[in-house]
Amino acid sequence: MMDFQKLLIKITFVMIALLIFPISVDAYGSDRGEQVKIGIRFGENATPLVSMNSSDGFLFGYYEGEEFINIIDFSQEKEILVRKDGESIGVNESFMEYDSNNQFSNYNTNVQGAIHIQIGAEFNSREEANTFLQSLSGIESDPYLVYENGWKVWAGLCTSFSDAENLSEDIKGLLPSMDVKIISTDNKRVQVVNKYGKVLLLYNTKNRDYHFRSLSGMTEIDGKKFRGSMMIKRYADSDLTVINQLGIEEYLYGVVPKEMAGNWPIEAQKAQAVAARSYTILNKNKHKNYGFDLCLSTHCQVYGGYSSENSRTQRAVDETKGKIMTYNGKVITAFYHSNSGGRTENSENVWSNPLGYIRGVDDPYSIGQPNDQWTKVYTKQQIEDLLGSKGMFVGNITNIIPKERSKNGRVLKLEIQGTNGNQILEKGQIRNIFGSKNLKSNWFDIMVDGELIGQESVDLNNPPKEIRHENKYVLTANGLKKITAQKQYIDNGEEKELISIKDKYVLTADGLDQIKFKEQPISNPQRNDRILPVSSKDQYVFIGKGYGHGAGMSQWGAKKMAEEGYTYEQILSHYYTGIRIE
């Protein structure tokens, strides 16, 4: 009779469990669309502990094709912590890694380890394992469910084998008929715990990708909300890799506003959406060594998740759904940048391969936009230090010369001459050395000691016409000053002073012109005409145009085109040569 009652109780528990923990659910309905995996934390930014929040809790499982197989329900847990199965210690209502060999203290009594005790054999299902777990109420070491090559029940988070042996003997004393064995550490195991440190599940990431799905549809990590599901993977000798898997269109909701301001014209947003979608399709598996497609930084495309979305972005993505750019029937790599400076660049002048759809084109729409022109001053010592930090030692710098330019104006080879030899920097290496935020592009001239290096200055002794200097500015040692009269007088507050502009340069639409006399009129005036400071022998002045590599679409140019009434198809066809949008 007692055996029948136990069987009845077991059957009842299994039936309840089946209702509470459905075996199979479709995560996104019958049509999830093409998915993409985005690396949130990986490599140097991997983390030993991941905190995830959801207003309605989580499901945990894996995919078989389009079907999500639910393993366990965490719907009662609004916050769960995922951590490496290693040593950790509770600190301020959270946990941090701990090394008992180097950090041991008699006061640290709440250290948890990665050596476990298995109680009983493997179970055929989660329900059987959970039923057995519930019967172990007398075990003080808080047994927990384990999913590793099947369902198991383990106990103990021991930091040493001696502790594990003692615990094993205690359990054998309580359960003399039960098989009990010590489980050693494994660098692929992961613990799921609640905010109080109670282990909810231990699983192994070795043979399958497991997903945490928020029942609300949004998971918060690192203060940001994300659509889709989250994978937490553990690679050997690494902290936890965090991957966000979601549909490509949902992914683009979080990309476009990070790459382009959300209040820009809708046609510019659409152009950005199509460019980003094309880039995504072509670059899937770019980070396959980490188990995902793209990262969330400028190395791929900047992605801010749900937290960065806005209504205009969603509209741009939705109204171009599925649209991509092709060239000769193949999806293109849709490179884009901030500002071309007035002309885009050929792909082979930025990287190595010539692409028929990345050709330099005139871009008047970028002129007058932010960073269409810029200036950066370096001392010789600063440049020597920058080179030295990269293992390049030229001694004392004697000269810096642009040795080769593209027909679009960008420097392809920059020679730095020094007392210990010369160093040639090529293409992208130039900005990598100097810093991409300092040298905003490779389209620059260099001035030292009042001379423009590598170019002949324009003699303005007999300029074609004299112009008024109203609303023009001169850059002096005291800052930017407005020129308020036809002659070269500077309005310096209460009084006006005549300044010498000998050996200074004015930046015009045609480039840098040298001004040789103090009342020298400026030819070809433009909105941004400016007189540059005289550089010393110890300073190199980089005078540049544009921001970014210059290949493909200029984002500021796209904005201007949209403001002038161009459609997103016209914008894309301007910047990408010979493409089709389909």
In a domain, 504, yes or no: yes
Read off the pLDDT of residues 546-565 as tens digits, 9 standing for 90 and up.
999 999 999 999 999 999 99
- Please report where in the chains the tokens 């800052």 appear, as a residue: 479
Tell whether 171 is covered by a domain: no
Average the pLDDT over 181-208 and give the result: 91
At 57 the pLDDT is 93
Global pTM value:
0.76
Cα–Cα–Cα angle for 110, 195, 40, rounded to 5 degrees: 110
Confidence band for 475, pLDDT divided at 50, 70 and 90:
very low
Residue 67 placed within a domain = no
DSSP SS3 for 70: strand
CA angle 525, 531, 532 (to 5 degrees): 140
Quick one: 391 and 535 in the same domain?
yes
Instruction: Note whether 491 and 383 are same-domain residues.
Output: yes
Q: Does the structure show a pLDDT above 90 at 508?
A: no
Among 273, 240, 242, smallest CA distance to 229 is for 242
Residues 387 and 518 in one domain: yes
Q: Is residue 431 part of a domain?
A: yes
> Scanning the structure block, which residue is given the tokens 């469910």?
145
For range 356-378, the mean pLDDT = 95
Whether 416 and 514 map to the same domain: the answer is yes
According to DSSP, the β-strands at 397-405 and 374-379 are unpaired
The reply to whether 575 and 447 lie within a common domain is: no
pLDDT at position 247 over 90: yes
Query: Is 516 among the domain residues?
Result: yes
Is the pLDDT at 238 greater than 50? The verdict is yes
Confirm if 576 and 553 have CB atoms less than 8 A apart: yes
- State whether 383 and 520 are in the same domain: yes
516 and 420 within one domain? yes
Residues 448 and 536 occupy one common structural domain: yes
What domain range is 355 assigned to? 336-369+549-581
Strand duo 411-418 + 421-426: pairing: antiparallel
Q: What is the pLDDT of residue 33?
A: 64
For the chain, the domain total comes to: 2
Residues 87, 71: Cα–Cα separation, whole Å:
26
* 470 shares a domain with 512: yes
Q: What is the pLDDT of residue 14?
A: 37
- DSSP 8-state assignment for residue 288: G
pLDDT of residue 136: 87
* 528 and 471 housed in the same domain: yes
Domain contains 433: yes
Task: Render pLDDT for 376-386 as a digit per residue (tens, 0 to 9).
Answer: 999 999 999 99
Nearest 5°: CA angle at 125, between 121 and 130? 75
Determine contact, residues 572/271, Cβ cutoff 8 Å. Answer: yes
If pLDDT is split at 50, 70 and 90, which confidence band does 449 have?
confident
**What stretches of 113-199 show up as alpha helix (H) in DSSP?**
126-134, 161-174
Residues 553 and 429 occupy one common structural domain: no
More confident position, 571 or 523:
571
Asked, for residue 521, whether it belongs to a domain, the answer is: yes
Residues 167, 174: Cα–Cα separation, whole Å: 11
Decide which of 496 and 89 is more confident: 89
Q: Are residues 418 and 557 in the same domain?
A: no
Helix 568-575 crosses helix 266-282 at what angle (to 10 degrees)? 50
pLDDT recorded at residue 513? 54
- Quick check: 252 pLDDT over 60? yes
Q: How far apart are CA 580 and CA 565, in angstroms?
A: 20
Q: In this structure, is residue 8 part of a structural domain?
A: no
